[in-house]
Structure 1
Amino acid sequence: MSGNWTYVCGTAELLPGELKNVWDEVTDTPIVVFNLDGAFYALEDRCSHEDYELSPGTFDPAEGSIECLLHGARFDIKDGRPLCPPAYSPVAKFPVKVEEGGIWTRDDRD
């Protein structure tokens, strides 16, 4: 792989309705990757309301959202926008690519 892409897992290891977290060692950023009906999305694994992991929260595939375990803030997994208080700022969204049977993501912020 060229560039700073981080390997997440094989496509068969992340089934629809599941999530997996990974660490971007280049930028030292936690990332959570979601499989929503066969499409993959990645967000920073950090609630924008309070510095807390999103991945232990509830992933709702029907709504396409993740709910933070700490205070119940929910985010759209497709674009990171907040869906309810107490969060008002979006969570960073990252690119995902599927290549050679694997899922890859990266923190592409400058």
Structure 2
Amino acid sequence: MTFTPLIARDELVEGQAQQVRLEGRVLAVVLLGSDVYVLSDRCSHEEFSLALGEVDIDDKTIECERHGALFSLETGAAVTFPATQPVEAYATRQVNGVVEVDLP
């Protein structure tokens, strides 16, 4: 794994998705407690930004604002219709207050 610095942890707001661009990719970044989740920021159903959607802290999902599809923050799996395909989920770690992501 090769981790790349993404964002300072203190720039993230608990339970809110934030769009971050890195190495030509658009990512949705979510802080939940001590964990940070990073997904591709495009709904697999209609290419809409997931970072605009609501985060469910208890279920660890993010909702596509356009049609209501839910995706797992942990795996990127599509949890509800109309989405049936997952979005990419990336491994993260935190080093000295900086969130790093492993982009293949």
TM-score, normalised on structure 2?
Answer: 0.88
Tell me, yes or no, if structure 1 residue 55 matches structure 2 residue 27.
Answer: no
SS at match of 2:86: coil
Greater than 4 Å deviation, 4+ residue runs: none
TM-aligned CA distance change 1:41 to 1:4, over 3 Å: closer
Tell whether 2:21 aligns with 1:23. yes
- Aligned partners of 1:98, 1:14: CA distance in 2, in Å? 13
| Residue 61 of structure 2: aligned partner | 65
Deviation at residue 60 of structure 1 after TM alignment:
1.1
TM-score, normalised via structure 1 length: 0.84
Higher relative CO (Cα under 8 Å, sequence separation at least 6) belongs to: 2
Query: Deviation at 1:18?
Result: 2.9
Mapped contact 2:16–2:54 kept (Cα < 8 A)? no
Paired amino acid for 1:17: G
Q: Which residue is 1:97 aligned to?
A: 93
Gaps of 5+ in 2: none
State the secondary structure of the residue aligned to 2:51.
coil
Partner of 2:6: 7
Contact 2:17 2:53 in 1 (8 A): no
CA distance in 2: counterparts of 1:43 and 1:79, whole angstroms:
9
Q: 5+ residue gaps in structure 1?
A: none
> In the TM superposition, what is the alpha-carbon distance from 1:65 to its structure 2 partner?
0.6
Residue-by-residue CA offset, 1:32-72 (whole Å, 9 max, x unaligned) = 11112211111000000111110001111121110001111
Identity among equivalent positions (%) equals 30
